[in-house]
Structure 1
């Protein structure tokens, strides 16, 4: 049986004692000191002992502290009274844990004294009622945002997604509230508009997830980053084709409307460099690296420092195995530009596979199609198993209603790769998974359309990482 000492004064203390009476545990006995006696008719006399005296009186308080208390809680209206009461307690009990309601920015270096800032608590609670602000559990766990609840808006990228296809690394959806009823999540559960999600995880990760849930169309390259990064390695590129590639990348940059960073490494053609420098503007940054050492670490530093959300590379750079692996490790979308006019592209073409990775990146696909004014085509090869594909088709159909964006479903017995080879005005979009970093030689006997991406390498392609 633990003894708890509560030193109280004022209205806040009175409210607190009433809450304790309503929620007390039979494992505790409460000794309550009041400067002015107030009656609490619901208090159980066997669990609540009341005293009336001034706790700043060392003599009176010392008599009560002859008992062994588990902790002391101080809720008083005068800062001087609080400080003197703490001094009295410390003169008798050096290590007793003290919890103080701090209304005045009082400070204390004692590790066994916890200062509860009342202004922070009130402002935090008021913040919970603002729209578009995540609600964070204050009194559970360590109270730093590792438990969060988020209302899913109608236009969210999470709407109509199955929980099983949402990449949950260092975070989890642990509960869903729908129409004021608790629904336990499972892999097949689909998220609906106005669902309230309760999530647990790393506080920084949850902030990113919150932004992803609240994101609507027109924000790409968010949530991956805010800027676009063009990477040119002159040792790996055909210099005669590079000028046209840069102009196509500038066209893509104008479509997405973000700051573009043109990164040139291993510069060797100074005439071409001067032409690239002509693109410099308030929204176009030219960054030339003359040091051939540490290019990989410099690349990852740029991704972080420039807050990159999309990397643009030419086809021959992506086909380099080492470069492709480095791009995968960046965990941002990659736009691979081929030797075709990007301005003539009309369709975003997606080949359905036997997994559901396309459901994970669906909101990004809709976002890109909105930014680039593209139609969405789903190619369903009917000679393969259809269970997973039908769920992906259902998901895209639901999203097309939300985003008012039509989706064309192409069902055909002909291999979609052969069909797309005869088509010119499209850009292929596909998940950027680890298997795409394997050397293309090993895909000769593969039937996986994603592994065979290089069969359409003469066309523009966008590779989207599956995680948030």
Structure 2
């Protein structure tokens, strides 16, 4: 039996469970945390070890076998503490020390230590998973300009259960496949299976793009954002049925509910309930928690809200959460049968995220989706459609999926209102800005005015 490398995770709270779920098959994992509640809720596996204590203590790190560890992740919310942990890791000769840096205050010091830093709390788990657990890289092969990358294929990868003749990776060759104890020299008819290790050979630029596509799809929705979810119910607890549906059918593992409805009982699918005196209390309490996704009920876009004289719940929530956390606006649906991706903002990052997320939802929930592009500038000569088509072609070529873009022109809110008929769920990208009479924010209207559920990717 192969000996697994040791990874030590210091701090991280409930975020740790997401990281552990991704790397549990690849590492002997030691988690050090002062919070006993966090440790008690860790998955029960023989290779996961919980240590209650202070990770800045050399004694605690030795209990976690730091002298044998290949990786140390400083994952607390304090940059000072993470810096201290990183110093200890370097003193013990840990080859790979990674730190979460929420403020960049110690950026120069981390660089001097040679510590790999990650700036987004919700990104660190996926970063470690992509860069450590599932890829190994050799740089400067051949003429000194190529790279070889080893990647593990899991059941959610778009390459899984496909023959090589069906896989199109531009500028990249699959040099070998390792399956358990066998080496397979690949040919066109070779079937790629979950668990296979593939050696990819190519130019760094091509490999970087291909890995971005493959790794972003390897996990079930919403693992690319995180598997801890916060549900906010201020008016109607009937929306809980949709949260239950999503937890049962997706990779969500932890649901915390904040509600002002005192009669709301803790359901079997809810892990934690916190009652609020008013929704304003949400802003005070949310700062200490990190969630991959926020779920809220639809708010009433009445006259005052449309005028910008009253803040809608959607924008109210945005004020309290970090940037880039998506908001799932619930409609109370008991199931989803058809979905569409709606693109109206000319922003490449939003377009890419929207496409990747739609594909992830498709595979996780087993529903098809259509793509609609709204050209707001009637004289644009379909420039947004051309950009979306170019990005979509590259992404879908790896998934071996066909796609058809449907272009409409006009006001994005009015176009969306016409489109929503016949659909249960929409994926939409938009910008975080306040809705006013003279500068309305389409994403606020789209998320709250329709009768369907809307997954909002925000920037």
TM-score normalised to the size of structure 2? 0.48
Asked which structure has the greater CA Rg, the reply is 1
TM-score normalised to the size of structure 1? 0.48
